[in-house]
Amino acid sequence: MTADLTASDLEEAGAVLAAEAARFASFGWMRGTSGNLSVVLTRDPLRLAVTASGHDKGELTPADVVLVDGNGAAVHEGKPSAEAELHARVAALTGAGAVVHVHTVASVALGHRHPGGIVFKDIEMLKGVGQPAHDVEVTLPVIANSQDMKVLGDRLEAAREPRMPAVVVAGHGLYVWGDTPRQARHHTEVVEWLLELELTRR
Protein backbone atom coordinates (compact mmCIF):
# COMPACT_ATOMS: atom_id res chain seq x y z
CA MET A 1 0.00 0.00 0.00
CA THR A 2 1.19 3.51 0.86
CA ALA A 3 2.36 5.19 4.03
CA ASP A 4 -1.22 6.21 4.85
CA LEU A 5 -3.10 3.16 3.55
CA THR A 6 -3.07 -0.50 4.51
CA ALA A 7 -4.31 -3.67 2.86
CA SER A 8 -7.23 -3.70 5.29
CA ASP A 9 -8.22 -0.17 4.18
CA LEU A 10 -8.43 -1.38 0.58
CA GLU A 11 -10.31 -4.53 1.56
CA GLU A 12 -12.81 -2.50 3.56
CA ALA A 13 -13.39 -0.22 0.57
CA GLY A 14 -13.72 -3.30 -1.62
CA ALA A 15 -16.44 -4.71 0.61
CA VAL A 16 -18.41 -1.46 0.35
CA LEU A 17 -18.05 -1.31 -3.44
CA ALA A 18 -18.95 -5.00 -3.83
CA ALA A 19 -22.19 -4.43 -1.91
CA GLU A 20 -23.05 -1.34 -3.96
CA ALA A 21 -22.27 -3.14 -7.22
CA ALA A 22 -24.48 -6.08 -6.26
CA ARG A 23 -27.34 -3.66 -5.62
CA PHE A 24 -26.94 -1.93 -8.99
CA ALA A 25 -26.52 -5.26 -10.79
CA SER A 26 -29.79 -6.47 -9.26
CA PHE A 27 -31.52 -3.53 -10.97
CA GLY A 28 -30.02 -4.52 -14.35
CA TRP A 29 -27.85 -1.39 -14.42
CA MET A 30 -24.51 -3.25 -14.44
CA ARG A 31 -25.15 -6.20 -16.73
CA GLY A 32 -22.29 -8.62 -17.28
CA THR A 33 -19.05 -6.81 -16.55
CA SER A 34 -20.36 -3.34 -17.46
CA GLY A 35 -20.07 -0.32 -15.20
CA ASN A 36 -17.62 0.58 -12.45
CA LEU A 37 -17.48 2.15 -9.00
CA SER A 38 -14.92 4.00 -6.94
CA VAL A 39 -14.39 5.48 -3.51
CA VAL A 40 -11.80 8.05 -2.47
CA LEU A 41 -9.43 6.79 0.23
CA THR A 42 -7.12 9.80 0.55
CA ARG A 43 -7.13 13.33 -0.87
CA ASP A 44 -3.49 14.33 -0.69
CA PRO A 45 -2.26 12.49 -2.58
CA LEU A 46 -5.49 11.46 -4.31
CA ARG A 47 -5.99 7.70 -4.04
CA LEU A 48 -9.11 5.79 -4.99
CA ALA A 49 -10.28 2.19 -4.76
CA VAL A 50 -11.77 1.32 -8.17
CA THR A 51 -13.52 -1.87 -9.19
CA ALA A 52 -11.23 -4.20 -11.15
CA SER A 53 -11.62 -4.69 -14.88
CA GLY A 54 -13.49 -7.66 -16.34
CA HIS A 55 -15.45 -8.80 -13.29
CA ASP A 56 -19.17 -9.55 -13.07
CA LYS A 57 -20.45 -6.66 -10.99
CA GLY A 58 -23.06 -8.84 -9.32
CA GLU A 59 -20.38 -11.17 -7.97
CA LEU A 60 -17.60 -8.89 -6.73
CA THR A 61 -15.64 -9.73 -3.61
CA PRO A 62 -13.76 -7.30 -1.33
CA ALA A 63 -10.59 -8.24 -3.21
CA ASP A 64 -11.93 -7.14 -6.60
CA VAL A 65 -10.72 -3.54 -6.36
CA VAL A 66 -7.52 -1.78 -7.38
CA LEU A 67 -5.82 1.18 -5.71
CA VAL A 68 -5.25 3.97 -8.24
CA ASP A 69 -3.66 7.40 -8.18
CA GLY A 70 -4.96 10.77 -9.33
CA ASN A 71 -4.38 9.77 -12.95
CA GLY A 72 -6.30 6.52 -12.60
CA ALA A 73 -3.14 4.39 -12.81
CA ALA A 74 -2.71 1.36 -10.56
CA VAL A 75 -0.48 2.15 -7.59
CA HIS A 76 0.52 -1.48 -7.15
CA GLU A 77 -0.71 -4.66 -8.82
CA GLY A 78 -4.08 -5.15 -10.46
CA LYS A 79 -5.93 -3.89 -13.51
CA PRO A 80 -8.50 -1.20 -12.73
CA SER A 81 -11.45 -0.34 -14.91
CA ALA A 82 -10.42 1.36 -18.14
CA GLU A 83 -12.38 4.38 -16.91
CA ALA A 84 -10.48 4.77 -13.63
CA GLU A 85 -8.87 7.94 -14.95
CA LEU A 86 -12.30 9.54 -15.36
CA HIS A 87 -13.29 8.51 -11.82
CA ALA A 88 -10.17 10.25 -10.51
CA ARG A 89 -10.93 13.33 -12.62
CA VAL A 90 -14.49 13.53 -11.28
CA ALA A 91 -13.27 13.15 -7.69
CA ALA A 92 -10.69 15.90 -8.14
CA LEU A 93 -13.07 18.22 -10.01
CA THR A 94 -16.15 17.90 -7.81
CA GLY A 95 -14.67 16.94 -4.44
CA ALA A 96 -16.78 13.77 -4.54
CA GLY A 97 -15.93 10.89 -2.24
CA ALA A 98 -17.45 8.23 -4.47
CA VAL A 99 -18.30 7.83 -8.17
CA VAL A 100 -20.79 5.47 -9.82
CA HIS A 101 -20.89 4.53 -13.50
CA VAL A 102 -23.84 2.46 -14.71
CA HIS A 103 -25.10 1.46 -18.15
CA THR A 104 -28.85 2.05 -18.05
CA VAL A 105 -31.22 1.90 -20.99
CA ALA A 106 -32.83 5.23 -20.06
CA SER A 107 -29.53 7.12 -19.94
CA VAL A 108 -28.38 5.79 -23.31
CA ALA A 109 -31.74 6.36 -25.02
CA LEU A 110 -32.17 9.90 -23.70
CA GLY A 111 -28.54 10.77 -24.37
CA HIS A 112 -29.26 10.14 -28.04
CA ARG A 113 -32.50 12.10 -27.99
CA HIS A 114 -31.20 15.12 -26.06
CA PRO A 115 -27.55 15.74 -27.01
CA GLY A 116 -27.77 19.26 -25.59
CA GLY A 117 -28.85 18.07 -22.13
CA ILE A 118 -31.97 16.71 -20.43
CA VAL A 119 -34.10 19.31 -18.65
CA PHE A 120 -36.08 18.56 -15.48
CA LYS A 121 -38.58 20.93 -13.87
CA ASP A 122 -41.36 20.76 -11.29
CA ILE A 123 -40.64 17.19 -10.24
CA GLU A 124 -40.68 16.24 -6.56
CA MET A 125 -37.79 13.80 -6.96
CA LEU A 126 -35.42 16.69 -7.68
CA LYS A 127 -35.21 17.02 -3.91
CA GLY A 128 -33.15 13.82 -4.02
CA VAL A 129 -30.29 15.73 -5.63
CA GLY A 130 -30.68 18.74 -3.36
CA GLN A 131 -32.89 20.89 -5.60
CA PRO A 132 -36.30 22.44 -4.95
CA ALA A 133 -39.21 20.50 -6.39
CA HIS A 134 -40.78 23.54 -8.06
CA ASP A 135 -39.87 26.71 -9.93
CA VAL A 136 -36.36 25.47 -10.70
CA GLU A 137 -35.15 24.10 -14.01
CA VAL A 138 -32.15 21.78 -13.80
CA THR A 139 -30.29 20.31 -16.77
CA LEU A 140 -28.56 16.95 -16.71
CA PRO A 141 -25.60 17.45 -19.07
CA VAL A 142 -25.03 15.09 -22.00
CA ILE A 143 -21.54 14.76 -23.46
CA ALA A 144 -20.24 12.91 -26.50
CA ASN A 145 -18.44 9.65 -25.82
CA SER A 146 -14.71 9.06 -26.31
CA GLN A 147 -12.36 6.17 -25.59
CA ASP A 148 -9.79 8.76 -24.48
CA MET A 149 -10.47 9.45 -20.80
CA LYS A 150 -8.62 12.78 -20.94
CA VAL A 151 -10.93 13.96 -23.73
CA LEU A 152 -13.98 12.63 -21.90
CA GLY A 153 -12.88 14.34 -18.69
CA ASP A 154 -12.43 17.65 -20.50
CA ARG A 155 -15.93 17.35 -21.93
CA LEU A 156 -17.37 16.55 -18.53
CA GLU A 157 -15.60 19.52 -16.93
CA ALA A 158 -16.85 21.89 -19.64
CA ALA A 159 -20.45 20.67 -19.46
CA ARG A 160 -20.82 20.08 -15.72
CA GLU A 161 -23.85 21.58 -13.99
CA PRO A 162 -22.93 22.07 -10.31
CA ARG A 163 -26.56 21.60 -9.23
CA MET A 164 -26.71 18.14 -10.83
CA PRO A 165 -24.23 15.53 -9.51
CA ALA A 166 -24.32 13.52 -12.71
CA VAL A 167 -23.65 13.50 -16.42
CA VAL A 168 -24.81 11.29 -19.29
CA VAL A 169 -22.22 10.03 -21.75
CA ALA A 170 -24.06 9.60 -25.05
CA GLY A 171 -24.26 6.02 -26.25
CA HIS A 172 -22.54 4.84 -23.08
CA GLY A 173 -24.23 5.46 -19.75
CA LEU A 174 -24.48 7.54 -16.61
CA TYR A 175 -21.82 8.92 -14.24
CA VAL A 176 -23.01 10.03 -10.81
CA TRP A 177 -21.16 11.10 -7.68
CA GLY A 178 -21.64 11.95 -4.03
CA ASP A 179 -19.77 12.64 -0.81
CA THR A 180 -19.96 8.97 0.20
CA PRO A 181 -20.81 5.68 -1.53
CA ARG A 182 -24.24 5.81 0.08
CA GLN A 183 -24.94 9.34 -1.17
CA ALA A 184 -23.62 8.44 -4.63
CA ARG A 185 -26.01 5.48 -4.62
CA HIS A 186 -28.95 7.68 -3.66
CA HIS A 187 -28.06 10.21 -6.34
CA THR A 188 -27.78 7.43 -8.93
CA GLU A 189 -31.20 6.03 -8.05
CA VAL A 190 -32.81 9.47 -8.14
CA VAL A 191 -31.25 10.51 -11.45
CA GLU A 192 -32.14 7.18 -13.04
CA TRP A 193 -35.73 7.60 -11.82
CA LEU A 194 -35.85 11.03 -13.45
CA LEU A 195 -34.49 9.56 -16.68
CA GLU A 196 -37.02 6.75 -16.67
CA LEU A 197 -39.82 9.24 -16.13
CA GLU A 198 -38.61 11.34 -19.05
CA LEU A 199 -38.37 8.24 -21.21
CA THR A 200 -42.00 7.27 -20.50
CA ARG A 201 -43.17 10.79 -21.29
CA ARG A 202 -41.81 10.46 -24.82
pLDDT tens digits, 98-131: 999 999 999 999 999 999 999 999 999 999 999 9
Question: Using 50, 70 and 90 to split pLDDT, how confident is the model at 200?
Answer: very high
pLDDT at 90 over 90: yes
Is residue 2 domain-resident?
Answer: no
14-36, pLDDT tens digit by residue?
999 999 999 999 999 999 899 99
Domain that holds residue 154: 7-201
Instruction: Please check whether residue 74 lies inside any domain of the structure.
Output: yes
Q: Which pLDDT score, from 0 to 100, does residue 202 have?
A: 64
Domain membership of residue 1 (yes or no) is no
- CA distances in angstroms from 45 to 4, 177, 181, listed in the order given: 10, 20, 20
Q: What are phi and psi of 124, to 5 degrees?
A: -55, -35
Higher pLDDT, 77 or 37: 37
Q: Residue 196 domain-assigned?
A: yes
Would residue 119 count as lying in a domain?
yes
Provide the pLDDT for residue 23. Answer: 97
The amino acid sitting at 49 is A
Residue 78 located in a structural domain: yes
Q: What is the pLDDT of residues 142-194, one digit of tens each?
A: 999 999 999 999 999 999 999 999 999 999 999 999 999 999 999 999 999 99
Q: Confidence band (pLDDT; 50, 70, 90) for 2?
A: low
Which CATH number is 35's domain given?
3.40.225.10
The burial of 1, by beta-carbon neighbours within 10 Å (0-12 exposed, 13-18 middle, 19 or more buried), is given as: middle
Q: State how many domains the chain has.
A: 1
0.75 cut: is pTM over it? yes
- Is the Cβ–Cβ distance between 88 and 69 less than 8 Å? yes
Query: What does the angle CA 23 – CA 31 – CA 37 come to, to the nearest 5 degrees?
Result: 55
